[in-house]
Amino acid sequence: MTGSKIGVAVVGTGFGQKVHIPGLQAHPRTEVVAIYHRDAQKAQAIAHAHQIPHACSTIEEVLALPNLDAVSISTPPFLHFDMAKTAIDAGKHLLLEKPTALNVIQAKDLYRRSLKNRVVTSMNFEFRFVPAWQHFADLLVQNYVGQKRLIKIDWLVSSRADASRPWNWYACKDQGGGALGALGSHTFDYIAWLFGEVDRLTASLSTAISSRFDPATGELKPVDSDDTCNITLELIDGTPCQICISSVTAQGRGHWIEVYGDRGTLILGSDNQKDYVHGFKLWGAPIGQELVELEIPPHFAFKQVFADGRIAPFIRVVDQWVLGIDRQESLSPSLKEGVYSQLLMDLAHESNETGTWVNVPQW
């Protein structure tokens, strides 16, 4: 398949329509050959709007297409497992949105199926591919901070701060809703990528807005998913890591990672509330010096920048996926990394329910 076009079906038309379709259509090696929506008329309308040849209203219809090599899934989390399992069992390569599934049992099942069926997988952990983040990772490898003393992560956004925003799956824990799934899944992945594996954790998950209006019933409906997460991790190397994530912080400070070591300090952050990829800057200071903004080397820069900041790093995820398909092996971030992120999410829920520290097992 090296060098040839890869036919991809996009399953999920919210984030899929905003990011997956334009990203896959912009990539020189992928061709969007089908769109899935459970409503056949909506599928047809979306296909027409984006010049996609096939519109499908069942997964079986998608997988029966003759020119289909791969599936890109961006549906709500409670649909991930069944859809991904069906695609993997049909031998289709898989690009999956986070969180991986509803629990680590499902995530491990998908990972093992992908190995059995020799399917190449990728997870859209896009922060790994943002230029400022890549320079940040490079400096950490170069031992800029030395021995780490403290990692502090704040991800404070206002996406759910409006109490009048209607009830949907995000408000339901059993459907994979909540800030931990939406944001914590990313956080757990990039902690493993940047700093290494976690030894143990403790978590407190809370819900500030306990009910929302449900347009389907015309009544207030309870919210049982978390909208704020306070988590403390201890890494394998002993470094403490403090995490505060919230989706209900009006005028929240955005997304920041601070790393303090015995040789220096690095701070990566963005206060852009409208686009969680655009706007990242990096500051650093060797011990005893003032923090200064660090220039991002040109070789990390995107080849093309889009109005929606999520598209450019998504294209780099697709780069990795396509390279893996050519090599017939899954490259990071794949379902393997998706399992680890999901494991830490499950343990955060366990810690919250038991009020205890939880050790992270090997898997």
Any domain includes 337? no
Residue at 281 is within a domain: yes
Residue 1 in any domain: the answer is no
Instruction: Give the Cβ contact number of residue 23 at 10 Å.
Output: 28
Instruction: Look at residue 336 and tell me if it is in a domain.
Output: no
Considering its fold, how many domains does the chain have in total?
A: 2
Residue 244 shares a structural domain with residue 199: yes
One domain for residues 260 and 145: yes
pLDDT tens over the chain, length 363 residues: 577 999 999 999 999 999 999 999 999 999 999 999 999 999 999 999 999 999 999 999 999 999 999 999 999 999 999 999 999 999 999 999 999 999 999 999 999 999 999 999 999 999 999 999 999 999 999 999 999 999 999 999 999 999 999 999 999 999 999 999 999 999 999 999 999 999 999 999 999 999 999 999 999 999 999 999 999 999 999 999 999 999 999 999 999 999 999 999 999 999 998 887 889 999 999 999 999 999 999 999 999 999 999 999 999 999 999 999 999 999 999 999 999 999 999 999 999 999 999 999 987
Look at residue 318 in the predicted model and tell me its pLDDT.
Answer: 98
pLDDT of residue 1: 56
The pLDDT of residue 363: 79
Type and span of the H or E element at 321: helix 311-327
pTM of the model: 0.97
Domain extent, residue 145, equals 127-303+342-359
235 in the same domain as 348? yes
- 62 and 209 inside one domain: no
Q: Tell me, what CATH number does 63's domain have?
A: 3.40.50.720
Cis amide linkage into residue 333, ω under 30° from 0: yes
* Same domain, yes or no: 34 and 81: yes
Residue 298 belongs to a domain with what CATH number?
Answer: 3.30.360.10
Q: Cα–Cα distances in Å, from 307 out to 19, 72, 253?
A: 11, 22, 22
Residue 2 confidence (pLDDT): 72
By the 10 Å C-beta count (0-12 exposed, 13-18 middle, 19+ buried), 304 is classed as: exposed
